[in-house]
Amino acid sequence: DRTGEIELAVDGLVKRFGGITAVDGASFEVESGSITGLIGPNGAGKSTTFHCITGIHQPDEGTVAFQGQDITGIAPYECADYGLVRTFQIAREMANMTVLENLMLPAKHQQGEALWRSVMPLARREVEAQERDLLERVWDTLEFFEIEHIAEEKAGNLSGGQRKLLEMARALMTEPEMLLLDEPFAGVNPTLERKLLEHIHELRAEGYTFLIVEHDMDLIMEHCEHVIVMHQGSVLAEGVPGQVTSNEQVIEAYLGG
Ligand code: ADP
Ligand code: MG
pLDDT 10s digits, 190-224: 888 998 999 999 999 999 999 999 878 889 999 99
By the 10 Å C-beta count (0-12 exposed, 13-18 middle, 19+ buried), 202 is classed as exposed
Locate the ligand 1 atom nearest the alpha carbon of residue 23 and give its number: 10
Specify the pLDDT at position 117.
52
Specify the pLDDT at position 28.
98
Report the nearest-CA residue for atom 22 of ligand 1: 17
* d(CA 89, ligand 1 centre) in Å: 18
Distance CA 163, CA 216 (A): 19
Measured on CA atoms in the order 187, 15, 168, 230, is the torsion positive or negative? negative
Q: Do strands 226-231 and 234-239 pair parallel, antiparallel, or not at all (unpaired)? A: antiparallel
Query: Cβ < 6 Å from ligand 1: which residues?
Result: 17, 20, 22, 40, 42-48
- Checking ipTM against 0.95, whether it exceeds it is yes
pTM: 0.90
Q: Which residues of the chain have pLDDT under 50?
A: none
Specify the pLDDT at position 254.
81
Residues β-bridged to residue 10: 28, 64
